[in-house]
């Protein structure tokens, strides 16, 4: 009776686990999977690992109809160098390090990661089966599948913690933009030798203070996180009917459209929008705008994706930033001077409008100019000034601009046939120095291909605005005087003995007081980083900023749409 029952259970078990390696390729079909003696299990798993990896290499990572390895060649390379010996289990028991990795995957949101990226659902199934069904422990299929998924998960976690999930951008400073097989294999070998997962994880993470502060804020965010999944409404849209359908569904999910309404018309949607706007403290006009859609999409689930994106942005920076540097965060509308990881001072900024974005870049301050002239960039001439000149040649005089030819001679705007120009003009347009100059009374130059700078402004009242994406691309700095004096002091401190500094704080004050146009060469150049971070950690909490240029939206749809 017992023998019949055992045979029956084995038969059922084989059917249940048959999905693990159900495939047409003969390399993945393993006839004998039930191992009677625990001490013989490891040899069978080793045999299986080699065959299944070969099948996965031939089938784009697939090991069966439902599971695909993410980094197959790297996993295969590791096992090839280790004779395909299983590392996560011994004699039908999970090693403690396997439990550590499993628990890390379960709680990996604390690192801005998503458990589903690391075979979590399938690992939960296996762990549950192994706990509840003693016969499952005798099935080599189960251990082989767990073995490969855990190794693949570790490789993927290593990649995501070190490099992130975003493609390296054109300004990335990281020297590890491409991770070699040796990188992954070395980390896994270290884990096997030391048996300390957290110590390996720690070596992979960025050491930047901003990254640490943002990660520290996740715990508090997660404790109150609303995990309901709402329909994401893409905007702008190509298909108006699909857009309205998604908008209607989203409003319905939040209870702003009564579920009893069979046919929802435009009046229902407008009324629902008004009710939503009232709840959010927004002017209830019932209109569909980019601001409305942005608010609707700002669920906690979407905010977590924003956190993940920004953690990955830190991974595109080098392991070590300079001791001293200037940090501009465009969505945060601020500039910070950092010295030894300490903020010396912070200033409000005004940055480029969405139509004339301030570019993210790396550079260093090369010189400062008191009472600067402004040579207007060609992009502004083409878009704004040329159309105005075609209407009225007196436009330049009203704005206080001068038209200058290639010889530096002033040209009468009325002598030019503006109608014949469409893509640009063979002249420079310059605004003379003075208190009314758009650059204010001091400019900070740095090498870049975009003709942008840091500068003062003649519209200082705009700093009181909360949203300050208002410029043509340059960064206006409220505390420009503090920045200038800091640069001067830094030059004085690092001046070589016997060499008198060519300027100091007092000389800058004198030139400004006398309204002198003076170019000041900075000898000890301070690095400048203009970056795009839409959230950051502060006092254990996470502060979110508007996605002013829609970059989060693009990355969310490209890399995190299914999360």
What CATH number is given to the structural domain containing 530?
Answer: 2.40.440.10
Task: Write out the residue range of the structural domain in which residue 349 sits.
Answer: 321-536
For the chain, how are helix, strand and coil distributed in percent, rounded to 5? Answer: 45, 15, 40
Residue 418 DSSP label: G
The answer to whether the CB of 362 falls within 8 A of the CB of 528 is yes
**Of 93, 81, 76, 91, which is closest to residue 27 (Cα–Cα)?**
76
Alpha helix ranges (H) inside 180-254: 181-194, 197-204, 209-223, 240-253
Q: Phi and psi dihedrals of 335, rounded to 5?
A: -125, 135
| 28 and 167, same domain (yes or no) | yes
Does residue 278 lie in a domain region?
no
Same domain, 201 and 331: no
Contact 362, 531 (CB under 8 A): no
Is 279 a domain residue? no
Q: What is the pTM of this model?
A: 0.85
The answer to whether the Cα torsion of 253, 257, 262, 267 is positive or negative is negative
Q: Is residue 514 part of a domain?
A: yes
Cα dihedral sign, 86-91-92-96: negative
Query: Does 494 fall in a domain?
Result: yes
Domain identity same for 334 and 469: yes
Core vs surface per residue 492-530: b (16+ CB within 10 A) or e: eeeeeeeeeeebbeebbeebbeeeeebebebbebbbbbb
Q: 309-332 burial by CB neighbour count: b if 16+ within 10 A, else e?
A: bbbbbbbbbeeebeeebbbbbbbb
Report the alpha-carbon distance of residue 114 to residue 164 in Å, rounded: 12
**Euclidean distance between CA atoms 250 and 257, whole angstroms:** 9
Distance of CA 270 to the CA centre of its chain: 34
Rg of the chain taking only CA atoms, in angstroms = 31
Check residue 381 and report its DSSP letter: I
Residue 334 and residue 199 share a domain: no
> pLDDT tens digits, the chain, 563 residues: what are they?
434 334 444 444 444 444 444 444 444 444 448 898 999 999 999 999 999 999 999 999 999 888 999 999 999 999 999 999 999 999 999 999 999 999 999 999 999 999 999 999 999 999 999 988 888 899 999 999 999 999 999 999 999 999 999 987 666 655 455 789 999 999 999 999 999 999 999 999 999 999 999 999 999 999 889 898 899 998 888 899 999 999 999 999 989 998 888 889 999 999 999 999 998 888 899 999 988 998 899 899 999 999 999 999 999 998 889 999 999 999 999 999 999 999 999 999 999 999 999 999 999 999 999 999 988 888 888 888 999 989 998 999 888 899 998 888 899 999 999 998 988 899 999 988 888 889 999 999 999 999 899 999 999 999 999 999 999 999 999 999 999 999 999 999 888 777 777 899 999 999 999 999 999 999 999 999 999 999 999 999 999 999 999 999 999 988 988 78
Instruction: Answer whether residue 11 is part of any domain.
Output: yes
Report the pLDDT value the prediction gives residue 170, as an integer from 0 to 100.
63
Q: How far apart are CA 85 and CA 78, in angstroms?
A: 10
Whether residue 455 is contained in a domain is answered as: yes
Residue 114 lies in a domain: yes
Beta bridge partners of 476: 350, 455
Return phi, psi of residue 454, to 5°: -95, 145
| Max Cα–Cα distance, the chain, nearest Å | 110
Per DSSP, helices labelled H in 378-460 are: 378-380, 386-391, 395-399
pLDDT of residue 29: 42
Q: How many separate domains does the chain show?
A: 2
For residue 434, what is the DSSP state? S
Same domain for 399 and 528, yes or no, is yes
Tell me, yes or no, whether 267 lies in a domain: no
Question: For 193, which DSSP code?
Answer: H
Nearest 10 degrees: CA dihedral of 455, 456, 457, 458? -140
Residues 172 and 23 in one domain: yes
333 and 189 both lie in a single domain = no
């Amino acid at each position: 009776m017992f023998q019949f029952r055992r045979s029956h259970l084995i038969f059922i078990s084989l059917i249940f686990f048959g999905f693990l390696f159900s495939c047409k390729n003969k390399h993945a079909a393993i006839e004998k999977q039930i191992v009677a003696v625990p001490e013989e299990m490891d040899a069978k798993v080793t045999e299986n690992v080699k065959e299944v990896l070969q099948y996965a290499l031939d089938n784009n990572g697939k090991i069966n109809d439902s599971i695909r390895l993410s980094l197959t060649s790297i996993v295969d390379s590791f096992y090839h160098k280790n004779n395909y010996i299983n590392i996560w289990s011994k004699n039908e028991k999970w090693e403690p390090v396997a439990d550590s990795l499993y628990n890390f995957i379960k709680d990996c949101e604390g690192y801005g990661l998503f458990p589903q990226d690391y075979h979590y659902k399938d690992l939960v199934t296996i762990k549950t089966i192994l706990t509840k069904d003693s016969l499952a422990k005798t099935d080599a299929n189960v251990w082989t599948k767990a073995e490969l998924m855990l190794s693949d998960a570790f490789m993927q976690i290593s990649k995501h913690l070190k490099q992130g999930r975003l493609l390296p951008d054109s300004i990335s400073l990281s020297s590890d933009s491409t991770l070699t097989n040796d990188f992954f294999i070395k980390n896994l070998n270290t884990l096997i030798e030391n048996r300390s997962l957290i110590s390996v994880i720690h070596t992979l993470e960025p050491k930047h203070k901003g990254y640490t502060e943002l990660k520290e804020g996740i715990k508090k965010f997660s404790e109150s996180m609303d995990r309901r999944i709402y329909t994401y409404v893409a905007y702008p849209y190509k298909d108006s009917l699909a857009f309205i359908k998604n908008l209607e569904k989203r409003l319905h999910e939040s209870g702003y459209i009564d579920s009893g309404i069979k046919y929802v018309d435009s009046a229902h949607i407008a009324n629902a929008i008004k009710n939503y706007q009232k709840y959010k403290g927004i002017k209830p006009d019932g209109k569909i705008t980019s601001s409305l859609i942005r608010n609707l999409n700002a669920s906690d689930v979407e905010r977590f994706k924003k956190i993940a994106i920004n953690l990955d942005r830190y991974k595109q920076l080098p392991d070590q930033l300079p001791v001293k540097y200037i940090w501009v965060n465009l969505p945060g509308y601020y500039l910070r001077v950092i010295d030894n990881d300490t903020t010396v001072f912070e200033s409000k900024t005004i940055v480029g409008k969405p139509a004339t974005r301030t570019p993210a870049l790396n550079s260093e301050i090369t010189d400062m100019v008191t009472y600067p002239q402004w040579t207007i960039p060609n992009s502004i001439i083409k878009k704004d000034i040329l159309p105005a000149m075609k209407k009225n040649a007196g436009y330049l005089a009203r704005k206080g601009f001068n038209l200058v030819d290639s010889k530096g001679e002033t040209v009468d705007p009325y002598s030019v046939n503006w109608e014949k120009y469409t893509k640009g003009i063979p002249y420079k347009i310059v605004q003379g120095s003075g208190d009314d100059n758009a650059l204010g009374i001091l400019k900070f130059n740095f090498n870049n291909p975009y003709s942008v700078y840091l500068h003062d402004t003649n519209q200082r009242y705009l700093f009181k605005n909360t949203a300050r994406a208002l410029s043509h691309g340059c960064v206006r700095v409220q505390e420009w005087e503090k920045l200038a004096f800091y640069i001067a002091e830094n030059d004085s401190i690092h001046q070589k003995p016997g060499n008198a500094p060519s300027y100091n704080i007092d000389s800058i004050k004198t030139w400004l007081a006398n309204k002198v146009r003076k170019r000041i060469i900075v000898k000890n150049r301070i690095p400048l980083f203009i970056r795009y971070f839409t959230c950051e950690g502060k006092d254990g909490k996470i502060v979110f900023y508007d996605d002013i240029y829609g970059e989060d939206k693009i990355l969310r749809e490209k890399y995190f749409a299914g999360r």
